[in-house]
Chains A and B, each alone.
Chain A
């Protein structure tokens, strides 16, 4: 009864053409159809943030979007962040230097939110208050992630 659709999306600068059932989530399409498994699924309810990607310039939960709704969209996932640099994006460098990750499962979602936040000109204080609280991490207790934010924002402010 459910008709598949062909959708076209651009992910990390590369075009994909996919056949999807309407019920397929964007997170599934990215992970299984585009073979980009860096985006992780923790809850399928939008509560944990692990699946966060950037769609048409907005950081959002890929588990709360149908793949068919992404037809025509530009998407950035973790695989595309810092890919053009030898050392990575300042957020990635800062997370590593601050020991801001342990098991790594929530990390991609956090990096995407932080990359987007900086691009949007959100201040250091607001990132912690408005953006980081939208991510659950069970390993780090967040202390070092906040350190990473401080370091990355200083670095990014210096470069301006």
Chain B
């Protein structure tokens, strides 16, 4: 255990800001190896069709074109799906296919001396396509006569699964309850919109090895997929994540166009760079959500929540993403939220349509679950004339009832849900609302977030092909500086600061002497996720704590030998190993030097000070929060302004509150965006209508009020150091609480169905439909 806590819990300023503030960051497009060429991707112009001709006669000889046949020579397998659920037959998804299933689908690649020349050459390729009938809407794709995306299968359903209680049991619970209510919630399709688009630079070497620098959240998974589909040996492929300008889950996938770029570099034998432009990103970087939930809630007159039953259809797009049906399954898992229910049941179907795949995006289903459940709870409160917080707290799991097993076979670990809810309710009511004639409402969201998914065997049991561990490798250099190699991969989350905070405290050294090594398959331990799924501080940090503790023990042992004292009496603080209660000490850097010489090593320790620990958690760990916001609605125009926003957040032991608040701010902005303005649209021919940042509107500063945050700290009983993940929590909370606030501002409107985003047009239209009074 650490002897002194200098850094953990403190608002240490970020250590990697300098390069970004002064323009010396190294993002993928900043790389410029010698002899590099540029690629452009040839993409399908149609949403459904068969490619019967790829004519390169007019392509200038200064460009190299690789069409489907040339590419196919290098491909040994299709793209993997790592989560297999519910009768899913698509275990791999097409990498190259002459059946074109969505606008933008990569068909081929052109390489030339510049991107402009590559695009000129790409335009000279003549595609011959036979059109096929198109289906864009998931419900329409379920119809018996719908066009089939995979004609060998007899339906567009890619997977169907259930979660929670059996149909019979929940029917009993519903029958026994005093009342039931129904609502339909349409969850709009969204796009993560990282500010940096995707891209990669592939450098082949004459020996056949490859270095791929790519804007990714997960270098090791990229290597997994590239090697799998191209039949390459992993020990000859190096993947590096440089500075990455945001990911939000989108860059946790590997894409056809990226694989094509690798093939092009191998074929040509020179470095090839492909950088996605924003237009391409909107078309062909993973979309998310696009679900319709039929929701039924059963409750008693006294406000007791009894059952929640959801039938959900999610638009999977033209092919499964690497996570398959995972997001919808994850949604069901956390559907209960912080409340006690007698029964919960989710039934979900993933349906293929002629649109871009939907996959992982901040929240990964937990955002949708929060909306669905918190809407249901608000409807119950409204039906019973109850205060929405009062009703929630009445039904909440009490702190003393934790750990608590939910109806969806998840066990929440620790926390105080009622205190967070009551405090948020207090905060949002102050200051008093303005009296200016505007219509206002307050909305809440209470959620529990599953973070740090694991352990590995549990993952396997729920259909995941990837484990749940993270590994850290901690090494003291001969001069005493510390190198922490991790499988997690920061792209804005501040891990370059927070993991060293943890390590510096465990080792008793100055944080300036600790460096995080990340994002390079050559120098870091394996991780299937990189940074995603709110895992990095709990599992990346937890593994770093455990590895550091091992190294700390080595330091004590060697220092003990040097000081002729028992290692048990050695304290590591302020860069020195000191015999407790004395001023007999040796600098840790001198211990490191001694260990690098191997002189007089104690039995079983050294030479060298170095340890690695793969931390496979006992269980996922559960952060939670209550979000509350106040909105003003201009009923005549439908415009919504979010005027005030509070969060009471508990993510266990906080390593750096400033970093946590930053994650909450950004998450809230994305949840608010999805609630009020963001939607990816297609026309009925599968042509994208959202392809620029003017069509697809993400929040600007004026959209987001200042956010008041209070913290609670209930340690995780599992994580070494007590941390819980929280990166996605802001989104989970904001989406539901903003929607609830708008609906609360319009109590007279028919709220039996809902369609997000609540754009001004939708708010106005909803306000025209008054409630039917019972």
Contact = CB atoms under 8 A, between A and B. Distances in A.
Contacts of B20: 101, 104, 107-108
Contacts of B694: 45, 47
B13 to A, nearest CB: 7
A156 interface: no
B665 A136 contact: no
Contacts of B693: 42-43, 45, 47-48, 136
Interface string A97-131: 10101111111100100000000000000001100
Nearest to A128: B701
A104 B692 contact: no
Contacts of B192: 138
For chain B, give the interface size range: 35 or more
A103 B692 contact: no
B465 interface: no
B494 A102 contact: yes
B113 to A, nearest CB: 12
A129 B24 CA distance: 29
A104 B490 CA distance: 12
A31 B115 CA distance: 14
Given A102-B492, A105-B246, A141 B659 contact: no
A93 B691 CA distance: 36
Interface in B647-663: 658-659, 661-662
B554 interface: no
A136 B244 CA distance: 16
Contacts of A145: 701
Contact of A48 (B25, B195, B493, B701): B195
Contacts of B706: 143, 146
B273 to A, nearest CB: 11
Nearest to A111: B21
A37 interface: yes
A39 B19 CA distance: 12
A79 B245 contact: no
Contacts of B70: none
Nearest to B696: A47
A104 B19 contact: yes
Contact of B196 (A40, A81, A83, A88): A40
A79 to B, nearest CB: 4
A96 B21 contact: yes
B22 A82 contact: yes
A138 B670 contact: yes
Contact of B29 (A41, A78, A82): A41
Interface string B481-495: 000000000011110
Contact of B22 (A79, A105, A135, A146): A79
Contact of B32 (A32, A101, A106): A32
A95 interface: yes
A69 interface: no
A158 B263 CA distance: 58
A101 B245 CA distance: 11
A133 interface: yes
Q: Which of the listed residues A42, A45, A83, A105 has the most CB atoms from chain B within 10 Å of its own CB?
A: A105
Given A104-B243, A108-B23, A133 B195 contact: no
Given A40-B27, A77-B23, A141-B704, A103 B195 contact: yes
Nearest to B494: A102
Interface string B173-199: 000000000000000000011111100
Contacts of A78: 21-23
B245 A105 contact: yes
B14 A44 contact: no
Given A32-B32, A44-B277, A142-B700, A99 B658 contact: yes
B702 A133 contact: yes
A88 B27 CA distance: 22
A36 B629 CA distance: 43
A7 to B, nearest CB: 17
Interface residues of A, number: 56
A108 B32 CA distance: 20
Tell me the dominant secondary structure on chain A's binding face: loop
Q: Which of the listed residues B244, B278, B493, B670 has the most CB atoms from chain A within 10 Å of its own CB?
A: B278
Contacts of A142: 665, 669, 699-701, 704
A107 B20 CA distance: 7
Given A45-B692, A136-B700, A103 B245 contact: yes
A151 B106 CA distance: 47
B19 to A, nearest CB: 7
A20 B418 CA distance: 64
B620 interface: no
A113 to B, nearest CB: 12
B17 A96 contact: yes
Nearest to A105: B245
Given A32-B32, A43-B278, A138-B698, A103 B21 contact: no
Q: Which of the listed residues A37, A102, A141 has the most CB atoms from chain B within 10 Å of its own CB?
A: A141
Nearest to B196: A105
Nearest to A83: B22
Contacts of A95: 17, 21
Interface string B243-261: 1111010000000000000
A72 B700 CA distance: 34
A37 B245 CA distance: 14
Contact of A143 (B14, B196, B702, B707): B707
A101 B17 CA distance: 8
A64 interface: no
Q: Which of the listed residues B21, B26, B492 has the most CB atoms from chain A within 10 Å of its own CB?
A: B21
A105 B28 CA distance: 11
Nearest to B14: A99
B666 interface: yes
Contacts of B668: 141
A27 B244 CA distance: 19
A17 interface: no
Contacts of A5: none
A154 interface: no
Nearest to A25: B116
Given A43-B693, A128-B701, A141 B665 contact: yes
Contacts of B698: 136, 138
A50 B23 CA distance: 12
B704 A103 contact: no
A39 B29 CA distance: 11
B30 interface: yes
Nearest to B26: A37
Interface in A41-60: 41-45, 47-48, 50
A137 interface: yes
B666 A141 contact: yes
A133 to B, nearest CB: 5
B24 A139 contact: no
19 contacts: A38-B24, A40-B27, A40-B196, A43-B692, A48-B195, A48-B278, A78-B23, A82-B21, A88-B22, A97-B13, A99-B14, A101-B17, A104-B20, A108-B21, A139-B492, A141-B667, A143-B665, A143-B704, A146-B706
Which 9 pairs, one residue from A and one from B, show the smallest C-beta to C-beta distance? A38-B23, A105-B245, A104-B20, A102-B492, A141-B665, A103-B492, A141-B669, A78-B23, A47-B693
